[in-house]
Chains A and B, each alone.
Chain A
Amino acid sequence: EDQVTQSPEALRLQEGESSSLNCSYTVSGLRGLFWYRQDPGKGPEFLFTLYSAGEEKEKERLKATLTKKESFLHITAPKPEDSATYLCAVQPSGQAGTALIFGKGTTLSVSS
């Protein structure tokens, strides 16, 4: 069964304290892995798409990496405005509809 597990469930950081979020996945074949940011009461906001092991993408303080079994979202010198829930999703290959399978998310709180 295709599955996505994110850890930790919650993470508290001080402003400037770098850390990483983990996304482990089990799929029969991977078409793509996606990271989204979700603020309370809002829809997910797209961050990154990764397609193959070894690929990396960066945007401001965020960097996403991908291996054959997991992805990491590295947050460098976070600021309070980075506080949000970060969702990881996979798109299995072979699924006609290309529906995403999401993890439960990691809720990040950054205090000043």
Chain B
Amino acid sequence: DTGVSQDPRHKITKRGQNVTFRCDPISEHNRLYWYRQTLGQGPEFLTYFQNEAQLEKSRLLSDRFSAERPKGSFSTLEIQRTEQGDSAMYLCASRSGSGETQYFGPGTRLLVL
């Protein structure tokens, strides 16, 4: 399978706990995006990497959120001290340097109790 993969697919946690999600982009894609989607809404941009550099962050990305892409391949998104409002689908997308189309992974659905 050469598509974008995300792990885990589902996560249930208690308020105040930390969670970490992983994204593996399409192998030749050097650009990686994180989005968040809540019920009935379209995805909202969180952050963007070109290779290992984090070049853009949305104001939606509070200080409790941190993302990394240490070797320019997979990426992780960590949420510290989770709140009920963090419950959402977290989507990862990747694209090549020569194209504009972003390809999405299956998402990680987070439920904060």
Residues in chain A within 8 A of chain B (CB atoms): 4, 31-32, 34, 36, 41-46, 49, 87, 89, 91, 96-105
Task: Tell me the minimal C-beta distance from B66 to chain A in angstroms.
Answer: 17
Known: A43-B91, A103-B42. A34 touches B106 (CB 8 A): no
Interface residue B70 (Cβ < 8 Å from any Cβ of A): no
Q: In the complex, given contacts A41-B107, A44-B43, A97-B55, what are 6 additional A-B residue pairs having Cβ atoms less than 8 angstroms apart?
A: A4-B42, A42-B107, A43-B91, A97-B33, A99-B48, A104-B41
Most chain B CB inside 10 Å of its own CB: which residue of A42, A89, A99, A104: A99
Residue of A32, A97, A100 near B56 (CB, 8 A) is: A97
- Write 14 A-B pairs (CB below 8 A) sorted by A numbering: A4-B42, A34-B102, A36-B104, A41-B107, A41-B109, A43-B4, A43-B106, A46-B104, A49-B100, A49-B101, A97-B33, A98-B100, A99-B45, A104-B42
Q: How many interface residues does B have (CB within 8 Å)? A: 25
List of 9 A-B pairs having minimum Cβ-Cβ separation, nearest first: A102-B42, A97-B56, A99-B45, A97-B48, A43-B104, A43-B107, A44-B104, A43-B106, A32-B100
Interfacial chain A residues near B43, Cβ < 8 Å: 44, 87, 89, 100, 102
Query: What separation, in Å, do the CA atoms of A87 and B44 have in the docked complex?
Result: 12
Interface string of B96-108 (1 = CB under 8 A from A): 0000111111110
Contact A46 B103 (CB under 8 A): yes
Known: A42-B107, A46-B101, A91-B100. A100 touches B91 (CB 8 A): no
Interface residues of B in 34-55 (CB under 8 A from A): 35, 40-45, 48, 55
Counting residue pairs across A and B whose Cβ atoms lie within 8 Å, the total is 62
Contact B56 A105 (CB under 8 A): no
Interfacial chain A residues near B91, Cβ < 8 Å: 43-44
Query: What separation, in Å, do the CA atoms of A99 and B43 have in the docked complex?
Result: 11
Query: What separation, in Å, do the CA atoms of A101 and B58 have in the docked complex?
Result: 12
Contact B55 A96 (CB under 8 A): yes
Minimum CB distance partner of B34 in chain A: A99
Interfacial chain B residues near A105, Cβ < 8 Å: 42
